Amino acid sequence: MNYGLLDLLNLIGSLGLFLYGMKMMSESLQKVAGDKMRAILSSMTSNRFMGIITGFLVTTVIQSSSATTVMVVSFVNAGLLSLVQSIGVIMGANIGTTVTAWLISLLGFKFSIILVAIPLIGVGFPLLFSRKQNLKFWGEFLIGFSLLFIGLEFLKNSVPRVDQNPEMFAFLSNYTDMGILSVILFLGIGSLLTIVIQSSSATMALTLVMCNQGWISFEIAAAMVLGENIGTTITANIAAIIGNVSAKRAARAHFFFNVIGVIWMLIIFFPFTRTIANVLFDITGKSPYTDTVEIPFALSIFHSSFNLINTFVLVWFTPLLVKLVTWITPSKKEEDEEFRLVHINAGLMTTAELSLVQAHKEVITFAKRTHRMFGFVRQLFNETNDKEFDSIYQRIEKYEGISDRVEVEIATYLNKVSTYELSDESSRKLQALFRIISEIESVADSNFSLARTLKRKREQKVWFNQEMRDNLNKLFDMLDEAYNIMKENLEISQRSVSINLGPVYEVESKINEFRIFLKEDHIRSIEANKYKYQAGVIYSDLFNEAEKMGDYIINVSEAIAEIEKPVKHKSYPTGK
């Protein structure tokens, strides 16, 4: 065999150049898009069919289904996309990735693209030194595009030729005439290559080169393409390892969608490939079974038609796919399901007023989530098991991060609404919602501060006597009451009904008076040596932070009152 180490290194280097060009092209386009990529994925996924179109367009642009699906998984993890929305985008990404095969088939093998690639580098290189970021990124794109096809050209010239290495062809032929077993074997090879290379597009390029050189037949190449569809799902599953349960389900959905497609294709594999060969023969007068030059074109047809049919069949079974991945990846904690925006996305409603209604609904959900966070703080206060304590603390920490993100997302949405012409009442509501989300986020921060103090208490092995515990539980009961009044007022204000601030001020008065009592009692207890000084410091931190949280909660209702004139109890002055 006339194929040495240097030839092998040339082959690996050519593949590396192809991959680097694809990576450079993909990353430069993502830089050009910037945050628009997130906005596109968030706003263009209102239903599964829009999701398919979005996935196709994004993948066509960045030329990497892996990049699209990893982005999708990360957005699901962050709560910007739901599981159903993500499945649509993933289906579209599978169709978008077939564009690579067409580019290579139509350009890479028809003429020497290197004749155009070098001048393109000449155009792109000066752009790298531009002071404008966008021009620099477009320069990177042109160079990446050129390197991709230069790598492909080198790849074609680096693989061993069958006519010069007949023993290699003989080796491959031993495994290509076993019918469906050969299909399954090369399906596995295609999956393995894609997992190793981490790019289905690169594996597709390698497969097309192998066909062009006569290494493998059309049917064997088609089997490898099916394997590449399975192998490409590994990237998203790796990305989902550190994600939440929704992210893991999105990655699993990608895997099962492709596997299910491969299974039904294996059942009709030989009739399907023969049909493609017959159609191509009718068009060109040449068959991929007898003319190796036609194999890349036939393979592109196979790749596209398989993904199109698979998508438009399985899209109707999206709810079942959701149930399957939900069953396979159960939620350990109920709260994992709720870390996402429920009522708003990147797009606005038909009118600014309707957009405000959606934002108000989201604020109510935000308030409910923060109250649930306080419930975890109360669990933390009474928890004695170390393992469970750590689990609850991590949950609270996660909620605090989510609260920060939700505040930013709602504020961004409200900023968009503010660019429209609003009535006086809508303007007041907009300003009130800005203040409300800030106060609710401050409530979440106070929850996390309480949790950190309780963690410090456990780490320092500080003990509270029963009176201290009873006092804090009583204060926490008052905060629960304040939370419920806040949520009720948010619900009422959504119906444009004036809220009653009487209960708000009553609970505020109770919290303030009890906090004053605790502060005075704390000083007396320290003087009487009822508990250690270290315990007293933590005790004081807890009831002071709790009182601060109460203020934030009250501020929410007062912000609501800015929208509608409040009706107060007679026991409180109305200013008349």
Helix spans in 419-561 (H): 424-459, 466-494, 502-527, 533-560
Is there a contact between 73 and 79 (Cβ–Cβ < 8 Å)?
no
Does residue 332 carry a pLDDT above 50?
A: yes
Percent with pLDDT over 90 in the chain: 16
Ramachandran assignment for 489, one of left (phi > 0), alpha (psi -120 to 50 degrees), beta (any other):
alpha
Is there a contact between 77 and 246 (Cβ–Cβ < 8 Å)?
yes
In a domain, 354, yes or no: yes
Structure token digits, residue 357:
């209604």
Query: Same domain, yes or no, for 69 and 147?
Result: yes
In a domain, 401, yes or no: yes
Does residue 574 carry a pLDDT above 50?
A: no
Query: Same domain, yes or no, for 403 and 513?
Result: yes
In a domain, 33, yes or no: yes
In a domain, 172, yes or no: no
Does residue 465 carry a pLDDT above 50?
A: yes
For residue 212, the one-letter residue type is: N
Q: How far apart are CA 57 and CA 68, in angstroms?
A: 10
Q: How far apart are CA 70 and CA 132, in angstroms?
A: 29
In a domain, 573, yes or no: no
Q: How far apart are CA 302 and CA 190, in angstroms?
A: 15
Q: What is the pLDDT of residue 450?
A: 94
Query: Same domain, yes or no, for 188 and 55?
Result: yes
pTM: 0.52
Structure token digits, residue 263:
């299974």
Query: Same domain, yes or no, for 378 and 474?
Result: yes
Query: Same domain, yes or no, for 284 and 376?
Result: no
- Per the listing, tokens 């989300």 go with 437
**Where is average pLDDT lowest: 150-159, 224-233, 395-404, 438-447?**
150-159
Per-residue model confidence as pLDDT tens digits over 11-52:
788 778 777 776 776 667 656 655 455 555 555 556 677 778
User: Which is nearest to 202 in space by CA: 232, 161, 246?
Assistant: 232
Q: How far apart are CA 217 and CA 176, in angstroms?
A: 8
For residue 413, the one-letter residue type is: Y
What is the average pLDDT value for the chain, to the nearest integer? 78
Q: How far apart are CA 151 and CA 234, in angstroms?
A: 25
Look up the domain containing 135 and give its range: 5-163+179-328
Give how far Cα 178 sits from Cα of 92, 181, 215, 218, 275, Å. 34, 5, 16, 15, 21
Query: Same domain, yes or no, for 300 and 364?
Result: no
Q: What is the pLDDT of residue 345?
A: 55
Q: What is the pLDDT of residue 445?
A: 94
pLDDT-derived band at 102, boundaries 50, 70, 90: confident
SS3 content of the chain, % helix, strand, coil (to 5): 80, 0, 20
Q: What is the pLDDT of residue 162?
A: 43
Q: How far apart are CA 281 and CA 41, in angstroms?
A: 40
Cα-to-chain-centroid distance, residue 302 = 30
Report phi then psi at 567, rounded to 5: -105, 120
Ramachandran assignment for 214, one of left (phi > 0), alpha (psi -120 to 50 degrees), beta (any other):
left
For residue 86, the one-letter residue type is: S
Is there a contact between 299 and 207 (Cβ–Cβ < 8 Å)?
yes
Identify any residues that bridge with 567 across adjacent strands, giving them in sequence order.
Answer: 500
Q: Number of folded domains in the chain?
A: 2
Query: Same domain, yes or no, for 289 and 263?
Result: yes
Q: How far apart are CA 67 and CA 58, in angstroms?
A: 9
Is there a contact between 371 and 483 (Cβ–Cβ < 8 Å)?
yes
Query: Same domain, yes or no, for 153 and 263?
Result: yes
Per-residue model confidence as pLDDT tens digits over 84-95:
778 888 888 878
Domain boundary residue, one of 328, 352, 375: 328
- Supply angle C-alpha 351, 353, 357, rounded to 5: 115
In a domain, 460, yes or no: yes
In a domain, 333, yes or no: no
278, with CB counted inside 10 A (0-12, 13-18, 19+), is exposed
Query: Same domain, yes or no, for 23 and 71?
Result: yes
* Higher-confidence position of 79 and 459: 459
Q: What is the pLDDT of residue 446?
A: 94
User: Which is nearest to 198 in space by CA: 69, 38, 333?
Assistant: 69
pLDDT-derived band at 566, boundaries 50, 70, 90: very low
In a domain, 171, yes or no: no
Q: What is the pLDDT of residue 166?
A: 44
Query: Per-residue pLDDT averaged across 310-320, rounded?
Result: 87
Q: How far apart are CA 447 and CA 546, in angstroms?
A: 8
Query: Same domain, yes or no, for 347 and 324?
Result: no
Structure token digits, residue 241:
């390892």
Q: What is the pLDDT of residue 569?
A: 39
User: Which is nearest to 276 in space by CA: 204, 193, 229, 219?
Assistant: 219
Q: Return the CATH number at 385.
A: 1.20.58.220
Query: Same domain, yes or no, for 422 and 493?
Result: yes
Q: How far apart are CA 10 and CA 5, in angstroms?
A: 9
pLDDT-derived band at 456, boundaries 50, 70, 90: very high
Three-state DSSP at 332 gives coil
Query: Same domain, yes or no, for 310 and 419?
Result: no
Query: Per-residue pLDDT averaged across 431-456, rounded?
Result: 93
Per-residue model confidence as pLDDT tens digits over 150-181:
776 676 666 555 444 545 544 555 665 667 78
